[in-house]
Amino acid sequence: MTPPDAEAQITADFCEMVRLLRQIDPPERHRWEVDPLALHWNRGDAIASVAHGAPITLRLHPRNDDSPAQLRVELRLFSRIASSPEAEGAPLRAVLRAEHGRQIGHQATSLLDAPQLQLAGDDPAMLYARAAPHLDRALARYRAFEARRFSRD
């Protein structure tokens, strides 16, 4: 695969993953965000950027890292096309994190069964299908936390 073809595939996969994640309704005052440089943060090179992970985040808006009520989800997308196209295994990988609480001073608590999950899939739809159940549980835990927090007030 030529570098322009690889970049086009990476961009298409990333945009499709963003589209799929945006189907998940965020909690109140939160929204899905994509940094405009997500595919170009590494020397302006999409291939190098996705080799090291391109982030898609769900966070409090406006952002407030000191809020104890915030949710932060990050799916960092990696592409085997970028790192070693001939390697075996799924072409797409992701690291998924979901936490709530203050980001300052590492006070946030994971909403997943582990601090982070590593997922893999042949295409964005398969990767989303593997991430969605974890995201559903994380969002349910967050909503339960928020309900308990407000019932105490």
Checking if the pLDDT of 33 tops 90, the result is yes
Tell me the average pLDDT across 58-71: 87
Q: Residues with Cβ < 8 Å from 100, sequence gap 6 or more?
A: 69, 70, 71, 72, 108, 109, 111, 141, 142, 145
Q: Taking 80 as the threshold, does the pLDDT of residue 7 lie above it?
A: yes
Least confident range from 8-12, 67-71, 72-76: namely: 67-71
> Ramachandran region of residue 105, left (φ > 0), alpha (ψ -120 to 50) or beta?
left
Token pair for 53:
């992970």
Least confident of 51-60, 78-87, 100-109: 78-87
Tell me the per-residue pLDDT of 95-149, one tens digit each, with 9 for 90 and over.
Answer: 999 999 888 877 889 999 988 999 999 999 999 999 999 999 999 999 998 888 7
pLDDT reading at 47 higher than 90:
no
